[in-house]
A and B are shown apart, each in its own frame.
Chain A
């Protein structure tokens, strides 16, 4: 069983919704960023998303844009991100999902990327700007090495596309709770629950809800209808403010999110 399937099966057995955390790899430096991953894992996050820094993150709001700039300035890139995953892999039991724009992958070469991701112990790959229609080949190559391609579903995704995504996806589906870019918001979008319901009609895959979640009460709310909640920009803000203390502060934040 893949680590992702295992993690969601375990959550189901425990009768609770999971916490998926996002950080930008290499922010504020690759070494500190590795410690952040260790700290978040120790604090009990269920799935770790690792964002590959890219110069033109069109789907990201200002918080992750700034994190990306810090990571790039510190020497971060796709290759370094894969090295980071490899270096923490044996210490972390949670699944690790790469979150990336497609161009860095194309420049590394899809074959080289898939091979290195598999060797590093990456469990899932989410390609933000590679829509379903362009994904057949990527999905097959990742699957051949036991890596799940994660697909995004948005409020604008039609039922027909949800079915196609559900047929292609493994691991879980990532539901974008609202229109727009990444970034913490005061409330969970009202569009999230009906969207999850719509997706449930098409698939039994686990569903994680993200975009805008930042507080424990958001997680409690999302736990009412989804299998997991994703927290990104709020955690990245903590990391950005903490500098060298990022691992400790990030761990603390994750425990707070989990109500501990």
Chain B
């Protein structure tokens, strides 16, 4: 499966935030006092590891021999037949455990092991980060506790079972909105209590410095490979690079390789949910304001009093009230743009890719596919579009079946 002609790996140290963890006005570290020193230690350990030949060799070894990297770049010719668009899919769905999340989980759990931690906690929304962390922990013999909102536990039952099979303890969080936000709250509470023995393996480009940097760098392997692959296959850079954005780790991983290529449009696709109204979506660039959530200053969906709004998306992995600070910064500089796809468009894109290419995209990734589909259907100019197919849709099949049944009954 691995695409042996490409040997690019994650890129470290190319675009660091400032010493306090800021990307422009976004990022930083907004955490309770108990976590400050442990986060300092994590930062020091990470900065040492990313220049350590031994660590990097071990990570590369795991990525190639265990995760199955590089993942292929695939041109979806049937899907775009009759349009002027060449659509290339970066097949992160083919990575071990079925999503890009494994790239980061491998890196962070390897770092935890290097720091002598014997236990990790993680949050998960769709379950992919939880599965990836549970997998890395099983591989490295580390205890793994995953927090998951009770609503997500019920809509992603298969992933809950996978985590348990992998030896992880899954704790259902029945507080607040019962989704990813509350899972992060509870994971942080566990961390603050067990900080001496435990590392927090955060799944997206969120949280206090160094997480947004560290997660982006572990995910930068996606863009590094995709850039080399598309140059190989087309002899040129893409016109557009597209990825769905929940916290935004798969998007940052893809965008990273193209930030310095001004000809490449970078498009993040958020969850439009049912409608762009409070509580009905998770499109932070459409309805968010600057604020602090989970340790970082970024765009947040919130009310006038600063309380975090509930969100809705058909995809658990995009159902979150804030977005990675580096996305907010790149957007403020005009380097990236953000669109949204609603639940229906994502569901349609899921079926469209299945029928035209025989690929079931995750509902998260289906948002990016929906954007590319719409773009291909409306553009008149020839264009090369690169979409990060961040995960596979097997986990979503049962949910899609339910939704399609409901749709049939109501129509």
- Hey, which bits of chain A sit against chain B, CB under 8 A? 54-59, 61, 65, 72, 77-79, 101-108, 128-134, 151-158, 161, 176, 179-181
Given contacts A55-B307, A56-B181, A156-B37, 19 further A-B contacts (CB under 8 A): A58-B32, A58-B185, A58-B294, A65-B175, A77-B306, A78-B305, A79-B305, A101-B292, A103-B300, A107-B289, A129-B292, A130-B30, A152-B32, A161-B36, A161-B37, A176-B34, A179-B192, A179-B194, A181-B189
Cβ B291 vs Cβ A106 within 8 A: yes
Pick from A61, A78, A179: contact of B34, CB under 8 Å: A179
Contacts of B294 in A (CB 8 A): 56, 58
* Residue in chain B with minimal CB distance to A78: B305
Mask for B305-321, Cβ within 8 A of A = 1, else 0? 11110000000000000
Determine if B293 is an interface residue (Cβ-Cβ < 8 Å): yes
Q: In this complex, which of A108, A131, A151 has the most chain B Cβ atoms within 10 angstroms of its Cβ? A: A131
Contacts of A176 in B (CB 8 A): 33-34
Q: Mark out the residues of chain B between 371 and 390 whose CB falls within 8 Å of any chain A CB in the assembled complex.
A: none
Cβ B308 vs Cβ A56 within 8 A: yes
Complex Cα spacing A134 to B302, Å: 22
Complex Cα spacing A54 to B305, Å: 9
A56-B293, A156-B38 known; A103-B302 Cβ under 8 A: yes
Q: Mark out the residues of chain B between 32 and 73 whose CB falls within 8 Å of any chain A CB in the assembled complex.
A: 32-38
A-B Cβ contacts below 8 A, count: 115
Cβ A102 vs Cβ B305 within 8 A: no
Distance to closest chain B CB from A107 (angstroms): 4
6 smallest beta-carbon distances between A and B, as pairs: A107-B306, A104-B306, A77-B305, A180-B193, A55-B307, A154-B34
Cβ A131 vs Cβ B31 within 8 A: yes
Distance to closest chain A CB from B338 (angstroms): 22
Q: In this complex, which of B30, B31, B289, B290 has the most chain A Cβ atoms within 10 angstroms of its Cβ? A: B30
- Hey, which bits of chain B sit against chain A, CB under 8 A? 20, 28-38, 175-176, 181-182, 185, 188-189, 192-196, 289-295, 300, 302, 304-308
Complex Cα spacing A154 to B37, Å: 10
- Can you list 29 A-B contacts with CB-CB less than 8 angstroms, sorted by A residue number? A55-B308, A56-B176, A56-B181, A56-B293, A56-B308, A58-B188, A59-B32, A59-B192, A78-B306, A103-B293, A103-B302, A103-B306, A104-B307, A107-B291, A107-B304, A129-B31, A131-B29, A131-B33, A132-B36, A133-B29, A133-B36, A134-B20, A151-B33, A154-B32, A154-B34, A156-B195, A180-B34, A180-B192, A181-B192
Cβ B302 vs Cβ A157 within 8 A: no
Complex Cα spacing A201 to B232, Å: 64
* Residue in chain A with minimal CB distance to B186: A58
Contacts of A104 in B (CB 8 A): 305-307
Contacts of B291 in A (CB 8 A): 103, 106-107
Pick from A58, A102, A108, A157: contact of B33, CB under 8 Å: A157
Complex Cα spacing A56 to B34, Å: 17
* Residue in chain A with minimal CB distance to B36: A131
Contacts of B308 in A (CB 8 A): 55-56, 103
Distance to closest chain B CB from A252 (angstroms): 30
Contacts of B38 in A (CB 8 A): 156
Contacts of A153 in B (CB 8 A): 33
Distance to closest chain B CB from A89 (angstroms): 21
